[in-house]
A = this chain, B = another copy of it.
């Protein structure tokens, strides 16, 4: 029996967000993806070069062994004809990897709290160490101090993404701290565990191989234990690369097929929504939805140009009560068909929901309180985020949920309006409870010789 693996062409989609869930939007085949990737990188880099100068000119990136300009040629085709153990994601690049990167099978989220009395100099030394080791590990090499370098040799798309909390940024000076870097406003649906709402540095370690990931986490922890304590940690998963490849929308533990409407990696929408590069540039491509919105990156401080923001919500899912809801009740709550993921107004996963469509009885097919309806505000083109989520389930009879990582250039204009609408009314709230919530500044990527956070401490 042979197995045929099909990939579907990347459909046009509106860039709306409808559900906090798994996503993965690869392109149809390696060729267009390479082109798209390369073109986006060039645009992004040009913007950086013309920006604050905090990072440096584009030429600087090309000099690194993982320079963006080299990548289109160097990136192996990631279809299913080969094992992906040797496949690398870039480390030295204008943006950090692990944001636009198609989500890997596994993620370790490790939040660390600085030891009392830490000074800026301590943090700079720590970040230098972490940057050097992350650069080596993601490219398949053991760091210098690695006594098991063989465990690093199959990177399998390992990415290590740094997020800064308020406590760390403050050490560089109060004037560097953006207003939004701190706890979100309180939502009535929250039942937050204070221990899951802390941390000065976040390491988001993602990869397709669990042994490589465990080794990377251990190496980074060895770099960190003199500087920091573990604040909290959580391990998440999606489908393995080996069972599906990257080419399908995934399901969460509720069985929902979604993550259907994220902005596609490499798209102009992505650059606008996540990196805040939407307007003011001659080469900007306007949103298909009409007039270009204001530059969503306007509220990022200079040291964050090329970076973005991350809201990380730990959403517990009550699988036991969800099991008691029958399929029609579930589909009513989400506004989508469980099997195909199509909106109840349509037939295909990627059909745009029609909130005016009515059934034979004259009732709207999609309830105004359904998740898909609440998550969208058709009048506001700013209300878009990029979700990069992972399931977790710690054991039989233990907790289950979703690590909901939301990347966006502007928390106040993009994330909060959506979150407020969902907190107000969303049928899905019946089965979900946010138990952890943190906000992180994602600094830009760096060139070889620099360290992550250099633009903050020495910018």
Contacts of A106 in B (CB 8 A): 210
Contacts of A148 in B (CB 8 A): 251, 253-255
Contacts of A243 in B (CB 8 A): 83-85, 154, 156, 208-209, 212, 241-242
User: Using a CB-CB cutoff of 8 Å, which residues 125-178 of chain A contact chain B?
Assistant: 147-151, 154, 156
* Interface-facing stretch out of A37-45, A388-396, A427-435, A445-453: A388-396
**Nearest chain B CB to A38 CB, angstrom units:** 15
User: Using a CB-CB cutoff of 8 Å, which residues 210-248 of chain A contact chain B?
Assistant: 210-212, 214-215, 217-218, 220-222, 224-225, 230, 233, 235, 237-245
Q: Tell me, in angstroms, the Cα distance from A253 to B152 when the chains sit together.
A: 11
The answer, yes or no, to whether A282 is at the interface (CB within 8 Å) is no
The answer, yes or no, to whether A327 is at the interface (CB within 8 Å) is yes
A242-B327 in contact (CB<8A): no
The answer, yes or no, to whether A110 is at the interface (CB within 8 Å) is yes
Q: Tell me, in angstroms, the Cα distance from A322 to B218 when the chains sit together.
A: 13
Q: Tell me, in angstroms, the Cα distance from A319 to B151 when the chains sit together.
A: 13
B257-A2 in contact (CB<8A): no
**Nearest chain B CB to A112 CB, angstrom units:** 8
* Interface-facing stretch out of A74-82, A185-193, A264-272, A302-310: A74-82
Report which of B257, B327, B393 forms a contact with A214, defined as CB distance below 8 A. Answer: B393
Most interface-central of A75, A151, A244, A250 (chain B CB within 10 A): A244
Q: Tell me, in angstroms, the Cα distance from A81 to B221 when the chains sit together.
A: 36
Q: Tell me, in angstroms, the Cα distance from A85 to B239 when the chains sit together.
A: 9
The answer, yes or no, to whether A5 is at the interface (CB within 8 Å) is yes
The answer, yes or no, to whether A301 is at the interface (CB within 8 Å) is no
Q: Tell me, in angstroms, the Cα distance from A325 to B2 when the chains sit together.
A: 48
Q: Tell me, in angstroms, the Cα distance from A149 to B214 when the chains sit together.
A: 31
Chain B residue with the shortest CB-CB distance to A237: B210
The answer, yes or no, to whether A339 is at the interface (CB within 8 Å) is yes
Contacts of A110 in B (CB 8 A): 395-396
The answer, yes or no, to whether A397 is at the interface (CB within 8 Å) is yes
Q: Tell me, in angstroms, the Cα distance from A237 to B240 when the chains sit together.
A: 13
B218-A396 in contact (CB<8A): yes
Most interface-central of A108, A212, A225, A241 (chain B CB within 10 A): A241
Chain B residue with the shortest CB-CB distance to A254: B148
Q: Tell me, in angstroms, the Cα distance from A325 to B253 when the chains sit together.
A: 43
Q: Tell me, in angstroms, the Cα distance from A230 to B397 when the chains sit together.
A: 8
A221-B255 in contact (CB<8A): no
Known: A82-B5, A240-B242, A243-B241. A233 touches B154 (CB 8 A): no
Contacts of A50 in B (CB 8 A): none
Q: Tell me, in angstroms, the Cα distance from A136 to B239 when the chains sit together.
A: 20
Known: A76-B1, A147-B255. A154 touches B338 (CB 8 A): no
Contacts of A396 in B (CB 8 A): 108, 110, 217-218, 220-221, 224, 230, 233
The answer, yes or no, to whether A323 is at the interface (CB within 8 Å) is yes
Known: A80-B83, A230-B396, A233-B395. A239 touches B211 (CB 8 A): yes
**Residues of chain A whose beta carbon lies under 8 Å from any beta carbon of chain B:** 1-5, 74-77, 80-87, 105-106, 108, 110, 147-151, 154, 156, 208-212, 214-215, 217-218, 220-222, 224-225, 230, 233, 235, 237-245, 250-251, 253-255, 257, 319, 322-323, 325-327, 338-339, 391, 393, 395-397, 400
Contacts A/B (CB < 8 Å), 20 sampled: A147-B255, A147-B323, A150-B251, A150-B257, A151-B253, A151-B255, A154-B239, A209-B240, A210-B238, A211-B250, A214-B253, A214-B391, A214-B393, A215-B253, A218-B393, A218-B400, A221-B397, A230-B396, A240-B242, A242-B242
The 7 closest A-B pairs by CB, nearest first: A242-B242, A148-B255, A241-B242, A85-B243, A3-B82, A210-B237, A221-B396
Beyond A209-B239, A218-B319, list 17 extra A-B contacts (CB 8 Å): A3-B76, A3-B82, A5-B83, A81-B81, A83-B243, A84-B243, A151-B255, A154-B243, A156-B242, A209-B240, A211-B250, A214-B237, A220-B396, A221-B396, A221-B397, A230-B397, A240-B241
